[in-house]
Amino acid sequence: MDLTIDEGDSVAIVGASGSGKTTLLGLLAGLDLPSRGAITLAGQRLDALDEEARAALRAREVGFVFQSFHLLPSLTAEENVALPLELAGREDPARVREVLQAVGLEPRRRHYPRQLSGGEQQRVALARAFVGRPRILFADEPTGNLDQATGQHVSELLFEMNRGNRTTLVLVTHDLELARRCRHVYRLDGGRLHAFAAGPRA
């Protein structure tokens, strides 16, 4: 496949379960490497970087929202959100509180994941992805485990970040309504990407 995503763009990838959407997202984010071909992320050829360099690039440029949240159970919501900044050596408690407030969870910042609902855990995961002001945000089924109202709120947060910060948004979703809010929609089928529809600007 051949895919170019411009800075500040919004792209949705849809397709049947097992079609490779999550694998593709992991490749684009540098979490995995392709067996052949090349992926360039923020001007860097990922296959030319070792794991440490790829991790440093992700820390600088990328936010990632996993379908299963991937919160650390031994850390509070606030500590989970602060983790990317700490790993990058730029602690910023005010920024952590700011993003928790943006997702409506500042009052529950000292709660552990087990004390939060699924929707609250997903919003913590979003805050963690937002906190470093990434240039690129990858989201794997960001509303897949949420009720309709919470899913709508999470969607608004994603597109506010895309519009307000010109953060490039690449998401995998089964939700065609969410997908069509992106400027470009692709269907992954048989290992190939097909232009599915042009979505309106979010």
Q: What letter represents residue 106's amino acid?
A: E
Question: Which SS3 state, helix, strand or coil, does residue 120 take?
Answer: helix
pTM for the full predicted model? 0.86
37 forms bridges with which residues in the sheet?
A: none
What pLDDT is recorded for position 46? Answer: 92
- What 3-state DSSP class applies to 1? coil
What pLDDT score was predicted for residue 202?
Answer: 45
* Residues 172, 13 contacting (CB under 8 angstroms): yes
What six digits make up the tokens of 188? 């992954």
Q: What pLDDT is recorded for position 115?
A: 96
Distance CA 122, CA 150 (A): 9
Instruction: State the burial class of residue 32 (Cβ atoms within 10 Å of its Cβ: 0-12, 13-18, 19+).
Output: middle
| Rounded (10°) CA dihedral 20, 72, 151, 106 | -150
pLDDT in tens, the chain (202 residues): 889 999 999 999 998 888 889 899 999 988 888 889 999 998 899 989 999 999 888 888 898 888 778 899 999 999 999 998 888 788 899 999 999 998 889 999 999 999 999 889 988 998 998 898 889 999 998 887 777 887 888 888 889 888 888 899 999 998 888 999 999 999 998 888 988 755 555 4
Distance CA 202, CA 192 (A): 26
Query: What CATH class is the domain 10-197?
Result: alpha beta
